[in-house]
Structure 1
């Protein structure tokens, strides 16, 4: 057998080292990926308690409770004197946005479906920041409810500067053929019609310098095989954002979207089975789901004319790494 050439021996030496490194890495990671903690405080990591909650999901029943307070965020009047309307603002990302908007000087209207206890907790949190808060219950899939929400906001604050379309319906369907028309219709009516209705009702009250921020999703970028309908709506929201931004640019109204990855909110324990909830977010590069307070600063950034006056039609993914 001929001797290996110097080049072959060099390649095999490199291969052997990499093989050793791989084996060592496997031994170190045998207990699962280590979650990344890069924020101002440490956040919960999987496995979480197994739990499954009825729709629409109640934040006060989730274990562990989502982090929304952002105690290290210092307000600097980025939204001083402004008024915001946040759909799905009773819990999750919406609640965290409401708190930071208030800390930045905005009065906040919260639109929610039926989670009265969670909504009251959000109202208390907003008022603790020294700002006014009004609660409006309703169904974003119904135009009349969207009209009432906008009217209540303008009546309470005399203006509407920021609309955050955030309310969503999500529930998986493992087999495409099992996705019913009622399920599909509910997802589209909530996630697409709701954004359309609310934006169309809000725009006549908005002045130059106002903004609309839509909550998209990583599923709207990559898709999700068990969330065909939800992924479809989130991709539609991204397209809606880009199209509407061009339509409203002459009015001086900016339109952007935030596309989160997995976030620990009531949406997911009410969407997934208990076993899946336990490992939620574990497969992200960071090894954990985001907490709402880690997502909310993006909305402050996009809402503020101080920081985003030249930004419109953008989709900002916050997905915990690629």
Structure 2
């Protein structure tokens, strides 16, 4: 599919992009991350690695890569440092299901930065259990999704809060699945990612000085993406890996400040950012516009 063809899903924002385009090119001066310290969980491979690379392209001073597998972290660290020699990269082995491990990784990264503060936190690490119907999914595998996607979120945000720099941004790399009522074989991933949005929102209301944005990164042949494809039995439309990276850099920039209005907004990396900016006043005025604010429908209390 070309970058701006009709989308495969209903969408409120067009054009619908499948790859990086000029407005989200990380090298745009308006999107510069110069001097910033960026921490990316799940930063060794897949979407997290692509996002980390995009922040390097935008001139970040120091990038922390958090993940369970040291070999992937070290490989991405070497690749980024070779391509962008002015960027410092730190590999931090940690398991988000282990609160002490998560806290230690966040603190080690902050301690290695000038001033000991973090400007951008990209919460990308996640777990998807083997896809199976509700009644047959393995119990331990099911709950591992909640251990990583929810307990991990809790521990990550608790560790990050005291170390957030003035004007810090948190990007929750979520999934468009949370906007569907049902996805075959995905009870744990679907439910835990939806619950994670509530956790990020609670934290955002108690930390209004930090901008929080949720976004769907796209569909890619990652370990988790392949599980979905196998379960559905057909190929999902694939996006270019540079899409979520460019979008993340844009979402952390001043141009996206309007998405930081409480409650935090949920957007898709596919959506054209110039169109989003043109609707900034509407988005700020109506949290429920285009389902940018995910809530249980029908509540009279807002």
- State the TM-score, normalizing by the size of structure 1: 0.69
- Correspondence for 1:126: 80
- Cα offset for 1:270? 5.7
- Cα offset for 1:195? 1.4
Separation of aligned partners in 1, 2:26 and 2:171? 21
SS across alignment from 1:149: helix
State how 1:163-312 maps to structure 2 within 5 Å.
Answer: 163-222=121-180, 223-249=182-208, 252-269=209-226, 273=230, 276=233, 279-281=234-236, 288-304=237-253, 306-312=254-260
- State the TM-score, normalizing by the size of structure 2: 0.74
- Cα offset for 1:274? 9.4
Separation of aligned partners in 2, 1:132 and 1:247? 32
- Correspondence for 1:81: 35
State how 1:58-137 maps to structure 2 within 5 Å.
Answer: 74-76=27-29, 78-106=32-60, 107-114=62-69, 116-127=70-81, 128-129=83-84, 130-137=86-93
Structure 2 unaligned runs (5+)?
5-18, 273-302
- Deviation track 1:208-249 (CA, whole Å, cap 9, x = no partner) reads 200111111111111412101100011112223333222211
Separation of aligned partners in 1, 2:270 and 2:235? 13
- Cα offset for 1:98? 0.5
Task: Determine if the alignment matches structure 1 residue 145 to structure 2 residue 101.
Answer: yes
Separation of aligned partners in 2, 1:270 and 1:120? 25
Separation of aligned partners in 1, 2:28 and 2:56? 9
- Cα offset for 1:268? 2.7
- Cα offset for 1:153? 0.7
Separation of aligned partners in 1, 2:258 and 2:166? 13
Separation of aligned partners in 2, 1:110 and 1:289? 25
**Corresponding residue pairs, total:** 246
Contact 1:86 1:94 in 2 (8 A): yes
SS across alignment from 2:242: helix
Separation of aligned partners in 2, 1:315 and 1:205? 24
- Deviation track 1:141-171 (CA, whole Å, cap 9, x = no partner) reads 1111111111111122132111111111113
State how 1:43-54 maps to structure 2 within 5 Å.
Answer: none
- Correspondence for 1:37: 2
SS across alignment from 1:258: strand
Could you list the structure 1 runs, at least 4 aligned residues long, displaced by more than 3 angstroms after superposition: 269-276, 318-321
Could you say what the CA RMSD is over the residues aligned between the two structures, in angstroms?
A: 2.7
SS across alignment from 1:139: coil
- Cα offset for 1:319? 6.1
- Deviation track 1:101-159 (CA, whole Å, cap 9, x = no partner) reads 11112110000112x33222211232122200000111001111111111111122132
